[in-house]
Amino acid sequence: AQKITQTQPGMFVQEKEAVTLDCTYDTSDQSYGLFWYKQPSSGEMIFLIYQGSYDEQNATEGRYSLNFQKARKSANLVISASQLGDSAMYFCAMEAGGTSYGKLTFGQGTILTVHP
Amino acid sequence: EAQVTQNPRYLITVTGKKLTVTCSQNMNHEYMSWYRQDPGLGLRQIYYSMNVEVTDKGDVPEGYKVSRKEKRNFPLILESPSPNQTSLYFCASSLFPGEMNTEAFFGQGTRLTVV
């Protein structure tokens, strides 16, 4: 079975500073993918970034980067130069192989608040 | 525009009154699923479908039914809703299950309250 753990229920950051949202995972599959989604107060799920288990380089998408440490089973999201619009709930998720293909296993989420 | 459309967005109903939440995608995706989101628990998969007429249980299927008669539609049915099914529901679709880096597209969500 797969498991995602986000240990930070809430995080605060000053505008223009960087912030790291933690995510650890557990799976026995060798092939898996890690995703981060943003959920603003309006409720929709917005895809941010993806990291494959065989990717040698950390994924980056604009101000988002994923700090992937495979041996530690962590996939932390780094948001650089925070903006007020980054205030939202952030979910880490994993898709593993085998019979779980297609299924996303989500963490509990972290609420990020960006202060002006 | 590629999208997953859920209806309704908000629904308040009474215990025991059957309801259906519709979900439709226009991307010809094979894989569709339903999730519920509850505080402190993240999103949990209710049911999924690998293709037309192929559905299976996710992690929390009790009290729900689904059907996949057409590729684009995947309705969620609550035959006899109960207050513990009050939640935020998401429909999602993706192209090829098993192809990693297959981004899941989510609907706008349906906030259901059962009183």
Answer yes or no: is pLDDT of A56 > 60.
Answer: yes
pLDDT of residue B98: 55
Q: Which of A3-12, A77-86, A91-100, A105-114 has the lowest mean pLDDT?
A: A91-100
Answer yes or no: is pLDDT of A96 > 90.
Answer: no
pLDDT of residue B76: 98
Chain B segment 4-63 residues within 8 A of A by beta carbon are: 31, 33, 35, 40-45, 48, 50, 58
pLDDT of residue B1: 85
Q: How many CB pairs under 8 A join A and B?
A: 62
- Note whether B45 contacts A52, CB cutoff 8 Å: no
* Spatial distance between the Cα atoms of B42 and B58, rounded to a whole number of angstroms: 15
Question: What per-residue string of b and e applies to B26-48 under the rule 16 or more CB within 10 Å gives b?
Answer: eeebbbbbbbbbeeeebbbbbbb
- Note whether B103 contacts A31, CB cutoff 8 Å: no
Which residue ranges in chain B fall short of pLDDT 70?
A: 96-102
Count other C-beta atoms under 10 Å from residue B108's C-beta: 16
Answer yes or no: is pLDDT of A22 > 70.
Answer: yes
Q: Which of A37, A44, A46, A95 to mutate to test the interface with B (most CBs of B within 10 A)?
A: A95
pLDDT of residue A115: 96
Q: Contact at 8 Å (CB) between B76 and B47?
A: yes
Over range A89-114, report the average pLDDT. Answer: 89
Q: Which of B93, B70, B2 is nearest to A103 (CA)?
A: B93
Using a CB-CB distance cutoff of 8 angstroms, which residues of chain B are in contact with residue A25? none
Answer yes or no: is pLDDT of A60 > 70.
Answer: yes
Answer yes or no: is pLDDT of A99 > 70.
Answer: no
Q: Establish if A51 touches chain B: CB-CB under 8 angstroms.
A: no
